[in-house]
Chain A
Amino acid sequence: MKYEMRTKGEFDYGLVAIVGVIILMGLFVIYSASYQKYVLSGTNLSLRQLQSGIIGIIIAAAVFKVGYQRIIDFGYYIFGINVVLLLLVLFVGDMRYGARRWMEIGSFAFQPSEFAKITFIFALAKYLGDVKDGIERPKALIAPFAMALVPMLLIFKEPDLGTALVFVPVLFTMLLIAGARLKYLMILIGSGLACAPFLWFFLKEYQRNRLMVFINPNLDPLGAGYTIIQSKIAIGSGGIIGKGWLAGTQNQLNFLPEHHTDFIFSVVGEEWGFIGSAVLLFLFYKLVEKGLRIAETTSDIYGKTLAYGIVTVFAMHIIVNIGMVCGLMPVVGIPLPFVSYGGSFLIMSMVSIGILENIKNKRKVF
């Protein structure tokens, strides 16, 4: 590939600022969500999150320096390595909370599934950029589907349904933007929906329960429905101004399970009220909007599909996560970007921002 040497050299400081504010808010929320643990055992999770954040900045800066185009060249290889890691984690992964998602290297543990999202986007972007208009042919759709299906099945096996499902909208968005024919995409969505009932049989017991409970949380108020009921109570009881930092009873008294990871938004809602939740939601909206602006204004097909893929991952995580803690969607465990505790996802998210900035930076100048 020939690189365009003349670029505008732009940098979106606003996007970085927004991400900075969200991460800062996240550190405070994690501190509160893990406060009882901190008091008891001295483990400060917000400090660990900060460490991951610093690592994230370094990697994001490195990626920005290298440039997305160079990475796209190696897109298939990176993706291939990631798939191997996903396969490995099923055998040698660390078992936590009943799932094999973590890979341990020395004292550092990470989740290959978090990185699979971004490596998949790179690989698909390369494919879409390479086939160009050829994507209008139905045969060209086979490879993208295969590329999505392999990591999805492996991640589903861990099991991590939420992360696996994120691949679906990413795939369709990128195909849509790359110019695939709407007719074929509709047929695919339609046949996918038709197959959905059969998927029921592949779901684990707890996953079926979650879906049942979404329809009626009171089916099992102390089992599967417990989390969603307690989460709604936490958010609802926050009211307009909230109960104050470290003062949420649902959070501090442990009524909320997983309140520093997937359900962290309910801590925001309880302690900071509607004002806090709305501010955070607004920041997320601005983040997605800025990402979209970059994607729309990029004419390079590689960069454009890449940017859309990344924005879709963010949008999915934000909407599905907040939707589920508010009881608007079934509980599929996916974290809230930059706020939920968890190193791999934070680093992956920061790297994604670095790539977006790089895409903006490398826009062609006509």
Chain B
Amino acid sequence: MRSRIYSTIINIAFLVILSGIFYLQVLRWPLYNTLAKKNHVRLIPFPGLRGTIYDRNGLAIVDNRLSFDVVIIPQEVENTDKTYGTLAQVLGMPRSRIESIVKKEYTAPFAPITVSGDVDKDLAFSLEEQKQRLPGVLVLPRTIRWYVYGERASHIIGYLSLINKKELEELQDYGYSVSDLIGRSGIEKAYDRYLKGEDGGMQLEVDASGRLVKILGSKNQKKGTDITLTVDAKLQAYTADCLEGKRASAVFMDPRNGEILAMASSPSFDPNIFIEPGKNDAAVRYVNSSARPMLNRAINGQYPPGSIFKVILALAALETKNATIHTTYVCPGRYYLGRSEFDCWKLEGHGPQDMRDAITHSCNVYFYNLGRKLGPDTISEYAQKVGLNKPTGIDIGGESGGLIPNPAWKKARRGQNWYEGETVNFSIGQGDVLVTPLQMAQVASVFAMEGAAPRPHLIKKIGDSEVAVPKSRIIPMSKDAVRAVKSAMVNVVSSDTGTGQRARVEGLKIAAKTGTAQAPNGEPHAWFMGFAPADDPKAAFIVMVENGGHGGVAAADIAGKVLKFAKENTDILK
């Protein structure tokens, strides 16, 4: 009896053990098999670097550089108290912050937690030297995007940020993955799929202490395609420097083929800041700033053109035979339409002016007369003919189209008739008319090339292959007419009574036109549009300074400085 009890207990125990083994090995095999694999197989990603962006002369504008992250591996920290204390001291951040980072980012005891990203190189080295005293603290090198020119080229280049969930769903098939950075504006956005590198990785077998046992497989990472821009980095940097402290933009472009040599907008932003998640505050400050540093004023700023519009009127009048170069009007300083009075900017009047004089002195009364003779439809037609009222088609996209009004537009849009007074305003580039600086750079090119509108673009080469230059749009026009306007534009700078004298550059013949446009508040906007050398144009330009004041002084100054720099330090004008 007693031995029966005993053997029954033994039998039951063996049965329980057998069931336990069966449960683990047969029923739960899928789970434990995955766990075993996870245990000994590690995936080490090799991020594929983004392509480098070069300027037209092969200088790197955007590159990749080594950065150092300070990380903590929780299971290897021996003395938490001492480690956090020392780290707080070395990194100059409060201890509580380190603690909260570790708490927030903790995933597994062996998974590194980044406490501080991209630390100073000297700091990284000194931490590396103290390695023995701080077990569990590591300095990990990582390659990050490096915007060499920072704020000075950011509107062309754009910036990167983490891909979001929706984009990931759309782009997954193109090799994008969770932690990828994606271009948000400029070249980084427009050419993202070329610049993006292909991630590689290695599958390793490791033992219990994480040591490498063997390599199970690997795939090499591939760097993205390098891109060469039409931009001259030195000129770009100098132009950006000239705009600093103002709300302004400037475009320098090769009128022969539409290559953008420099395109700056101020205020600007530093794209390096968007790379580091820790610097979110700075990025938010950019977005919320009333000065709108993220706005590329060169392609998205829309303003009335003011007097630089007059050259279009002059061309239209000559072409339509409504005037000759000798047609003369007397300027008494004001112009009457019925009982309304329109002023010339020179209140004492310019006296008798022919077309060349009127352009040189930017006489309003002359163009009031010319405008009324042409009528709003003809002015509008010519403005659109030289490329206004629609985007220029620059390859970074997202640009604004401006607005060229006419009676039909007003009727359709506002249900109102066109007033004669509007024609008077329209004649000097005021009223409803809006243009972007880039559009006016294109207009400058049309005059420079005597009837060929180039398509502005920034890309020169993708990898080693040249990108085909987009063909200029040919605008049929009388060569005599456009040359007459050009010679008047030369006078603007060279004549001692010209409005653009301040842009003079020793040994360089510049053709230009100043502009002053009424701003809704504050000082008027200052414009300066032109090209150089006048006889063999190699650079067309536009400079626009918001609230820059009367007579185009502020804008002409900048254009002159940049042209001088270009002549002395680059081979653009050679």
CB within 8 Å of B: which residues of A? 173, 176-177, 222, 230, 232-240, 249-250, 253-255, 269, 273-274, 277-278, 281, 284-285, 288, 292, 295-296, 308, 315, 318-319, 322-323, 326-328
Find out whether the CB atom of B3 lies under 8 angstroms from the CB atom of A253. no
Q: Which of B14, B25, B209 contacts A236 (CB 8 A)?
A: B25
A233, A240, A318, A328: which has the most chain B beta carbons within 10 Å? A233
- A-B interface, 7 closest residue pairs, ranked by CB to CB distance from nearest: A236-B32, A237-B36, A253-B207, A274-B25, A254-B208, A255-B208, A239-B29
Among A237, A250, A288, the residue within 8 A (CB) of B10 is A288
10 additional A-B residue pairs with CB within 8 Å, beyond A232-B32, A233-B35, A277-B21: A236-B25, A249-B36, A249-B40, A249-B205, A281-B14, A296-B3, A315-B10, A323-B17, A327-B20, A328-B17
Question: Is B75 interfacial (CB-CB < 8 Å)?
Answer: yes
A296 to B7, CA, bound (A): 10
One digit per residue, 1 when the CB lies within 8 angstroms of any chain A CB and 0 when it does not, for chain B 196-233 equals 00000000011111000100000000000000000000
Prevailing SS type, chain B contact patch: helix
A269 contacts B3, C-beta separation under 8 Å: no
In the complex where A253-B205, A281-B14 touch, is A274 in contact with B22 (Cβ < 8 A)?
yes
Interface centre among B22, B24, B205, B209 (most CB of A within 10 A): B24
Report chain B residues within 8 Å CB of A295: 3
| Bound: A133/B3 CA distance, A | 17
Please state if B18 and A281 are interface contacts (CB–CB under 8 Å).
yes
| B33–A239 touching, CB < 8 Å | yes
Chain B: minimal CB distance from A5 (Å): 27
User: A240, B25: Cβ atoms under 8 Å?
Assistant: yes
Is B24 a contact of A269 with CB atoms below 8 Å? yes
Contacting pair A222 B17 (CB below 8 A): no
> Which chain A residue has the least Cβ–Cβ distance from B74?
A222
Complex: how many Å from CA A46 to CA B442?
87
The CA of A318 and the CA of B7, in the complex, are separated in Å by 15
Provide 12 A-B residue pairs closer than 8 Å at the C-beta atoms, listed in order of the A residue: A232-B24, A236-B33, A239-B33, A253-B40, A253-B207, A254-B207, A269-B25, A274-B25, A315-B13, A322-B17, A322-B20, A322-B21
CA distance A236 to B24 in the complex (A): 5
**Provided the pairs A249-B36, A255-B40 are in contact, do residues A239 and B26 lie with their beta carbons within 8 angstroms?**
yes
Interface size class, chain B? 20 to 34
Note all chain A residues with C-beta closer than 8 A to B10: 288, 292, 315
Q: Does B31 contact A (CB under 8 A)?
A: yes
* B28 CB within 8 Å of chain A: yes
B215 CB to nearest chain A CB (Å) = 14
By the criterion CB–CB under 8 Å, are A292 and B21 in contact?
A: no
B2 sits at the interface (CB 8 A): yes
Query: Does B2 contact A176, Cβ atoms closer than 8 Å?
Result: yes
Q: Which residue of A lies closest to B13 (CB)?
A: A319
Q: Are A250 and B21 in contact (CB under 8 A)?
A: no
A253 to B213, Cβ gap below 8 A?
yes
B39 interface contact, C-beta 8 A: yes
Q: Which residue of B lies closest to A284 (CB)?
A: B14
A238 touches B25 (CB 8 A): yes
A281-B21, A322-B21 as given contacts; A250 in contact with B26, CB under 8 Å: no
Most buried by A among B7, B32, B35: B32
From residue B280, how far is it (CB to closest CB) to chain A in Å? 33
CA distance A269 to B2 in the complex (A): 35
Contact of B16 with A by CB under 8 A: yes
A-contact bits for B11-51, CB 8 A (1 contact / 0 none): 00110111011101110110111011101100000000000
- Take A253-B213, A281-B14, A295-B3 as given contacts and tell me if A237 and B35 are in contact as well, using a CB distance cutoff of 8 Å: yes
User: Contacts A222-B75, A222-B109, A315-B10 given: A235-B208 contact, CB under 8 Å?
Assistant: no
Complex CA distance for A288 and B13, rounded to whole angstroms: 12
Residues of B whose CB lies within 8 Å of any CB of A are: 2-3, 6-7, 10, 13-14, 16-18, 20-22, 24-26, 28-29, 31-33, 35-37, 39-40, 75, 109, 205-209, 213
Determine if B25 and A273 form an interchain contact, defined as CB atoms under 8 angstroms apart.
yes
Q: Which of B3, B75, B109, B206 is most buried by chain A, counting CB atoms within 10 A of its CB?
A: B3
How many A-B residue pairs have C-beta atoms within 8 angstroms? Tell me. Answer: 116
Q: Which residues of B contact A239 (CB under 8 A)?
A: 25-26, 29, 33
Complex Cα distance, B317 from A161, in Å, reads 109
Q: How far is the CA of A361 from the CA of B205 in the complex (A)?
A: 55
Q: Which residue of A lies closest to B38 (CB)?
A: A233
Contact between chains at B13 and A249 (CB < 8 Å): no
Report how far A18 CA is from B26 CA in the complex, Å.
26
Q: State the main secondary structure of chain A at its contact with B.
A: helix
Q: Is the CB of A255 within 8 A of B39?
A: yes
Residue from A233, A284, A308 in contact with B39 in the complex, judged by beta carbons closer than 8 Å: A233
Contacts of A318 in B (CB 8 A): 17
Are A328 and B20 interface neighbours, CB within 8 A? Answer: yes
A233: chain B residues at CB < 8 Å are 32, 35-36, 39
In the complex, how many angstroms separate the beta carbon of B218 from the nearest chain A beta carbon? Answer: 19
A361 to chain B, nearest CB (A): 20
Task: Give the distance in Å from the alpha carbon of A330 to the alpha carbon of B461 in the complex.
Answer: 69
B26, chain A: closest CB distance, angstroms: 6
Closest to B41 in A: A249
* Minimal beta-carbon separation of A253 from chain B (angstroms): 4
Chain B residues within an 8 Å CB radius of A288? 10, 14
The answer to whether A319 touches B2, judged by C-beta atoms less than 8 angstroms apart, is: no
Task: Tell me, in angstroms, the Cα distance from A201 to B397 when the chains sit together.
Answer: 76
CA distance A177 to B205 in the complex (A): 55
- How long is the Cα–Cα vector from A233 to B29 in the complex, in angstroms? 9
Nearest opposing residue in chain B for A322, CB measure: B17
What residue in chain B is nearest A274 (Cβ atoms)?
Answer: B25
In the docked arrangement, what's the CA distance between A173 and B24, Å? 31
From known contacts A249-B40, A319-B14, infer whether A326 and B6 are also in contact, taking CB-CB under 8 Å: no
CB of B11 to closest CB in A, whole Å: 8
> In the bound complex, do residue B209 and residue A319 qualify as a contact, i.e. CB atoms below 8 Å apart?
no
The interface residues of chain A lying within 8 Å CB-to-CB of B20 are 322-323, 326-328
Q: How far is the CB of B3 from chain A (nearest CB, A)?
A: 5
With the chains together, A177 CA to B6 CA distance in Å?
Answer: 9
* In the complex, chain A residues whose CB is within 8 Å of the CB of B24: 232, 235-236, 269, 326-327
Chain A residues whose CB sits within 8 angstroms of the CB of B6 once the complex forms: 173, 176-177, 292, 308
Residues of chain A within 8 A of B32, CB atoms compared: 232-233, 235-237
Indicate if the CB atoms of A234 and B36 lie closer than 8 Å: yes
Give chain B nearest CB distance to A181 CB in angstroms. Answer: 11
Question: Cβ of B22: which chain A residues have Cβ within 8 Å of it?
Answer: 274, 278
Q: Which residues of A contact B33 (CB under 8 A)?
A: 236-237, 239
Contact of A285 among B3, B14, B21, B40 (CB under 8 A): B14
Report the separation of the CA atoms of residues A327 and B21 in the bound assembly, to the nearest whole angstrom.
10
In the complex, what residue of chain B is closest to A266 when comparing beta carbons? Answer: B24
Please, which residues of chain B bring their CB within 8 A of the CB of A230? 39, 208
**Chain A residue at minimum C-beta to C-beta distance from B3:** A296
A235, B25: Cβ atoms closer than 8 Å: yes
- Given the complex, which residues of A lie within 8 Å of B7, measured CB to CB? 292
Cα separation A323 to B21 with both chains bound (whole Å): 9
- Distance (whole angstroms) from the CB of A283 to the closest CB of chain B: 11
Min CB gap B1→A, angstroms: 10
- Taken together as a complex, chains A and B put the C-alpha atoms of A54 and B209 apart, in Å, by 36
For the complex, give the distance between the alpha carbons of A274 and B26 in Å.
7
- B4 smallest CB distance to A (angstroms): 9
Residues of the B chain whose Cβ atoms lie less than 8 Å from the Cβ of A277:
21, 25
Q: Tell me the minimal C-beta distance from B79 to chain A in angstroms.
A: 17
Determine the distance from Cα of A177 to Cα of B14 in the docked complex, in whole angstroms: 21
Docked-complex contact B26 and A269, CB < 8 angstroms: no
Closest to B109 in A: A222
| A238→B30 CA distance, assembly (Å) | 10
A176 to B9: give the CA distance in the assembly, Å.
14
Query: How distant is the Cα of A230 from the Cα of B2 in the complex, in angstroms?
Result: 40
Q: Which residue of A lies closest to B29 (CB)?
A: A239
CB distance from A251 to the nearest CB of B (A): 10
